[in-house]
Amino acid sequence: MKRKWWENGFYHFFTGAVMFGKGKRWFSIGSVLVLVTAGLHTMGHFSSPPDDLKTKGLIFAMEQYHLALPMGMNPSAMDIQNSLSLTMTILLVGLGLINLLMAQSANAKQVRSLAGVSCIVCLALVVLYWHYAVFPPLVCFVVIVPCFAMGFLRAK
């Protein structure tokens, strides 16, 4: 029997019919919060820096300092910082989407495993941001970790 287009997983992905079901709700909420964090991080990356002399001097120094790397690459410290910042966005979007796709299609045992791994990864980020005193992502991941922990405990 052929399924109608609205019965396929793509439709359920956007309606949340499966991924917010019993045993997957906390995991899915944590995954959506990861995507929100990725959006906030991207907004922070592209926002204007403060307009004070110290910040302008720092940005100028980062743009002027170049590293000689293999294959003839010569990025500035600012290029490296920007690429790492956008890498964070890409990886957070990937984590959030993979989690939501698994919540939509996987059984509870798989969701439990993925919730545990996601909790450990986000907890490691909490420790990292606590150590380096970076407040905005620290707050985001402090909110996300309990969601994945509850997802781990509730999935059966």
Task: Count Cβ atoms below 10 Å from residue 149 Cβ, excluding itself.
Answer: 20
pLDDT tens-digit map of 113-147: 999 999 999 999 999 999 999 999 999 999 999 99
Question: Would you state the pLDDT for residue 107?
Answer: 84
The C-alpha atoms of residue 54 and residue 69 are separated, in whole angstroms, by: 28
Instruction: Kindly list the distances between the CA atom of residue 30 and the CA atoms of 45, 104, 156, in Å, as whole numbers in the listed order.
Output: 22, 14, 17
User: Residue 134: what pLDDT?
Assistant: 96
| Average pLDDT of span 49-78 | 95
pLDDT digit string, tens, across residues 2-20: 665 555 555 555 555 677 7
How far apart CA 130 and CA 82 sit, in angstroms, is: 22
Q: What percent of the chain has pLDDT over 70?
A: 89
The domain segmentation of the chain, as residue ranges, is 21-48+88-154
